[in-house]
């Protein structure tokens, strides 16, 4: 399978704990995006990388959120001190130079109890 993969697919955590998600993009894609999707809403942009550089962050990405793409390949999204409002589906996508035609991974569903 050469698509975008995400791990884990589901994560249940207690409020206050830290969680980390991983995204492996399509290998030749140099752009990688993170989105968050809550019930009834479309995916909301969080941040994106061009190779290893984080070029843009949404105002949705609070100080508790950090994303990295250290070698320009896979990326991690960490949420510190999780809150119940962080419960959502976290989607990763990758693309070539142009941002349209992104390829999405299956998502990580986070539930904060």
Residues near 32 by Cβ (< 8 Å), separated by ≥ 6?
23, 25, 48, 49, 69, 75, 92, 93, 94
Q: Give the residue, chosen from 32, 91, 110, 112, that forms a contact with other proteins under the rule CB under 8 A.
A: 91
Rank residues 14 and 100 by Cβ distance to other proteins and give the closer one: 100
The answer to whether residue 41 forms part of the interface with other proteins (CB under 8 A) is yes
Please give the backbone phi and psi of residue 4, each rounded to the nearest 5 degrees, phi first.
-80, 130
The answer to whether residue 24 forms part of the interface with other proteins (CB under 8 A) is no
The answer to whether residue 48 forms part of the interface with other proteins (CB under 8 A) is yes
The answer to whether residue 26 forms part of the interface with other proteins (CB under 8 A) is no
User: Which span sits near other proteins by CB under 8 A: 10-18, 63-71, 80-88, 97-105?
Assistant: 97-105
Summarize as ranges the residues that interact with other proteins (CB under 8 A). Answer: 4, 40-45, 48, 55-56, 89, 91, 93, 99-107
């Amino acid at each position: 399978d050469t698509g975008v993969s995400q791990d884990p697919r589901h994560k249940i955590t207690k409020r206050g704990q830290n969680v980390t998600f991983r995204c492996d993009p399509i290998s030749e894609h140099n752009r990688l995006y993170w989105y968050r999707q809550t019930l009834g809403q479309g995916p909301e942009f969080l941040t994106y990388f061009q190779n290893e550089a984080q070029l843009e962050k949404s105002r949705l990405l609070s100080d508790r959120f950090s994303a990295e793409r250290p070698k320009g390949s896979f990326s991690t999204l960490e949420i510190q001190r999780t809150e119940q409002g962080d419960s959502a589906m976290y989607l990763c996508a990758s693309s070539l130079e142009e941002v349209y035609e992104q390829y999405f991974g299956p998502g990580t569903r986070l539930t904060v109890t």
